[in-house]
Chains A and B, each alone.
Chain A
């Protein structure tokens, strides 16, 4: 299986480092200061959403059975043969927003300048070099990992086994639980 991005919501502290890294990766300059000088500004394809006391970096799941690919009348929604990621072939996109309508995760939006469908492409340049996608690499708390489903499942099985053996893997979480519990009153 190809690698996918997996998210651990407990670890997200909403720094939005992933948003910045995503925008920079999709700039021409590939640097923060260079990206800021570009017009239009590159935009992030991942958005950290508010979720009560939690936060969640929402982006395309690159579904194996992708509704956006099925719905696109122009064949613009394309699967990258090398990485298995779903991306927009802008030369074919007519801006009908069928993909926006059918995406169950709200992960396809509209580029307001190009008037084309706009979504995560899972950083083909980076992954071709063997690097993690920009959002994963930028996350300071490892709230996202880039791994195959088998790798994640194996990791979880190992944790389950250790737990069953009465040797749970210690979770170091500082005051994070306290911090979240104290945020309660300030969240609508």
Chain B
């Protein structure tokens, strides 16, 4: 790429890493290139041992797998398995949270209900009696309802989907045969259907992929967010500091990395309680910072600073200033303990499912959360004692960021403008064109795109065209570091219409400045909050979600979870932009279904574009089509 514009944090941290002779993902990517075209096209099949098979995209070599599998089926099966990988991650996360909540209610795990309001709102939605009942009793019933889904073999509709998802979309899913019952059964069936000698029809495989998207969306994302809000409270608007400059030279820097606040909340609690031990060891204090999505969780509930997104997880260690990096699940690069070893950094894995060679493993399970959390925090203090006085390299980069715009927080702000009909001010401005539409720019941060500032450029192009952007996950970190989650960004980047709306809303809500143009809605599981927002707007207008002038985008796809999240949005009918290309281009059928035919099935379609300006233009074009269809 000619226009290399590496963001400042990466630029400085890479220089530091290189000066210390540290190997990073960028070095390994350079060695890996060129990457295998069969893999990129999705036409490499390793599912049975008559293979591995590869299809020659030029048509001269093999046209089918040894078993007779067509490239269309090969691609569809591989895509389904990617989606299963993502859905299994989110459903597993949700089940862990549920069991933690159940054990907490039984007094077996040291957690409590901090989100009573959310609990009672959900109880009402699920028909749990609340009158003259304690929060704990209500919560027990709700947990039972959620756990029923994981054990049921009666084929009845899944509780979390049937009670939580918008009605019009449920009707559509029923017609398409996409409703599911037990999420585990669906994950099992998808692996079964895609193993050797089962489903060979690319279309039914693609429909099953959409179904796995629904499993991900409702028994994964929505359930995760709901239980996290019950346990730890619903996020409210908070201003935090962001970027690597949040590390402090003379503090015990503890970085939580991963996804599950069951760990990070306890680390935060004990970081507070053991602060004196850190001071006794010669530190100013314990400085807790967040990496990746568990960072988002803590930032929006407690104002904990955001240190780094996933693609910077190695680089933040290169500072030498991280005394303890404690990780739970998902997106933990196996290279991290090797980098930690170059310094005094204690790198600690905690989940029984996540062991990494070179890491210290301190098993963290909810029953003994307090004991484990203390041990982890003390490991950080010990590491600091070894590190104290040595040189660290912390780039002086820090921005502020407004985070925590949960649906409840958004409605709270809008209620100050119109208490009876909070969504009205937004809807009116969509109708009059001040807001052209909405884009959810979400997902991973990829080293394949960071040196081109893909996300930042795409978002700025959208804002200039009056598209309001919501964000989650590692993309939210990118936005925070680039200053996009601030009032100033509204004046700097927005078109006149959007600027006027955000300024008026900010004033009316008494925020002392415009609302930021990019709304931080949480971690990657909090894409459920975006779904809830879309659902609320669609229901207020009496239209389907697929009719809204709203587009999703994963501009720097990395994880299988982004595939399953994407599928959940495709099932909802939300058009999606994605970069890089998903591994579907080896099949004409799959490519056509996802980029064209799906419009007639759910209303969604996928488009791929690796150039940020063109990607934004594509989003804007779809938004304009949707507006025209609505008569706007």
Chain A residues near B (Cβ < 8 Å): 11-16, 48-51, 55, 140-142, 171-176, 178-179, 182-188
- How many angstroms between the C-alpha atoms of A7 and B71 in the bound complex? 25
Give min CB distance, B15 to chain A, whole Å.
17
Cα separation A5 to B611 with both chains bound (whole Å): 37
B586 sits at the interface (CB 8 A): yes
Cβ of B588 within 8 Å of any chain A Cβ, yes or no, is yes
A176 CB contacts on chain B under 8 angstroms: 37, 41, 57-58
Contacts of A49 in B (CB 8 A): 34
Ordered by A's residue number, 19 sampled pairs between the chains whose C-beta atoms are within 8 Å are A12-B37, A13-B37, A13-B40, A15-B37, A15-B38, A49-B34, A50-B34, A55-B37, A140-B54, A172-B59, A173-B57, A173-B58, A174-B58, A174-B71, A176-B58, A183-B40, A185-B452, A185-B579, A185-B610
Cβ–Cβ contact A179 & B581, under 8 A:
yes
Q: Interface code B18-62, partner A: CB below 8 Å = 1, 0 otherwise?
A: 000000000000000111111011000000000000101111111
| Given A13-B41, A48-B34, A50-B33: A185 in contact with B449 (beta carbons within 8 A) | yes
Check A174–B57 contact: CB distance below 8 A: yes
From A55, A185, A187, residue with most partner B Cβ within 10 Å: A185
B41 & A179 in contact (Cβ 8 Å cutoff): yes
A48-B34, A188-B4 are contacts. A175–B591 as well, Cβ < 8 Å? yes
**How far does the alpha carbon of A182 sit from the alpha carbon of B608 in the complex, in Å?**
7
Which residues of chain B have C-beta atoms less than 8 A from A140's C-beta? 38, 54, 56, 61-62
Shortest beta-carbon distance from B21 to chain A in Å: 20
A12 CB to closest chain B CB (Å) equals 8
Q: Is the CB of B610 within 8 A of A178?
A: no
Find out whether the CB atom of B58 lies under 8 angstroms from the CB atom of A141: yes
| Residues from 1 to 28 in B contacting A, C-beta threshold 8 Å | 1, 4
B491 located at the interface, meaning its Cβ lies under 8 Å from any Cβ of chain A in the complex: no
Rounded to whole angstroms, the CA-CA distance of A50 and B588 in the bound complex is 26
Q: Shortest distance in angstroms between B56's beta carbon and chain A's nearest beta carbon?
A: 5
Across the interface, name the chain A residue whose C-beta is closest to B60. Answer: A142
A15 to B586 Cα, complex, angstroms: 14
Considering only CB atoms, which chain B residue lies closest to A51 in the complex? B34
Using known A-B contacts A13-B38, A140-B62, A186-B610, determine if residue A175 contacts B56 with beta carbons closer than 8 Å.
Answer: no
* Cross-chain contact A183 with B58 (CB below 8 angstroms): no
Quick check: is B454 within 8 A (CB to CB) of the other chain?
yes
Q: Which residue of B lies closest to A56 (CB)?
A: B34
Determine if B1 and A188 form an interchain contact, defined as CB atoms under 8 angstroms apart.
yes
Most chain B CB inside 10 Å of its own CB: which residue of A49, A51, A175, A184: A175
Report chain B residues within 8 Å CB of A179: 37, 40-41, 57, 581, 585
Q: Report Cα–Cα, A11/B37, bound state, in Å.
A: 10
For the complex formed, measure the closest distance between the CB of A52 and the CB atoms of chain B, giving whole angstroms. Answer: 9
A141, B612: Cα distance in complex, Å: 32
Residue of A nearest to B591 (CB): A175
Say whether, besides A141-B56, A186-B449, A55 and B34 are in contact (CB < 8 Å): yes
Is B580 an interface residue when CB atoms closer than 8 A count as contact?
Answer: yes
Shortest Cβ distance from residue B283 to the other chain A in the assembled complex, whole angstroms? 41
Looking across the interface, which residue of chain B has its beta carbon closest to that of A8? B58
- Chain B residues with Cβ below 8 Å from A186 are 448-449, 579-580, 610
Q: Measured between alpha carbons, how far is A16 from B32 in the docked complex, in Å?
A: 11
Which residue on A lies nearest to B33, using beta carbons?
A50
> Does B451 reach chain A (CB closer than 8 Å)?
yes
Give 4 closest A-B pairs by Cβ, nearest first. Answer: A185-B610, A13-B37, A172-B59, A14-B34
Question: Given the interface contacts A175-B57, A188-B1, does A183 sit within 8 Å of B580 by beta carbon?
Answer: yes
Query: Are the CB atoms of B41 and A172 closer together than 8 Å?
Result: no
Q: Which of A13, A48, A183 contacts B57 (CB 8 A)?
A: A13
Choose from A11, A14, A172, A178 the contact partner of B35 (Cβ within 8 Å): A14
| In contact, B580 and A182 (Cβ under 8 angstroms) | yes
> 17 additional contacts, CB 8 Å, given A55-B34, A142-B58, A186-B449?
A13-B37, A13-B41, A140-B54, A140-B62, A141-B57, A142-B56, A172-B58, A172-B59, A174-B41, A174-B57, A175-B588, A178-B591, A179-B585, A182-B581, A184-B610, A185-B580, A185-B610
CB-based contact B449/A15 at 8 Å: no
Q: Are B586 and A175 in contact (CB under 8 A)?
A: yes
How far does the alpha carbon of A182 sit from the alpha carbon of B611 in the complex, in Å?
9
What residues on B are CB-neighbors of A16 within 8 Å?
36
The answer, among B1, B60, B591, for a CB contact under 8 Å with A141, is: B60
Q: Report B353 CB to chain A, min CB distance, Å.
A: 29
Give the nearest-CB partner of B62 in chain A: A140
CB distance from A59 to the nearest CB of B (A): 15
Are A14 and B36 closer than 8 Å at their CB atoms? yes
Complex CA–CA separation, A141 to B36 (angstroms) = 12
A143 smallest CB distance to B (angstroms): 9
Nearest CB on A from B24, distance (A): 15
Contact B580–A15 (Cβ < 8 Å): no
CA distance A152 to B189 in the complex (A): 51
Interchain nearest-CB distance for B591 vs A (Å) = 6
In the complex the two chains form, what is the Cα distance from A49 to B579 in whole Å?
A: 24
Which residues of chain A are near B611, meaning CB under 8 Å? 184-185
A14 engages B580 (CB within 8 Å): no
A102 vs B1: C-alpha distance in the bound complex, in angstroms?
31
Determine the distance from Cα of A49 to Cα of B4 in the docked complex, in whole angstroms: 22
**A173 to B: closest C-beta gap in Å:** 6
- Closest beta carbon of chain A to B78's beta carbon, Å: 15
In the complex, what's the smallest C-beta–C-beta distance from B614 to chain A, in angstroms?
Answer: 9
Task: Write out the residue numbers on chain B whose beta carbons fall within 8 Å of the beta carbon of A184.
Answer: 610-611
Contacts of B579 in A (CB 8 A): 185-186
Return chain B residues, CB-CB under 8 Å to A188.
1, 4, 451
B609 proximity list for chain A (CB < 8 A): 182, 185
B454's nearest neighbour on chain A, judged by CB, is: A185
The answer for the CA separation of A175 and B574 in the assembled complex, in Å, is: 25
Within the assembled complex, what's the spacing in Å between the Cα atoms of A14 and B71? 18
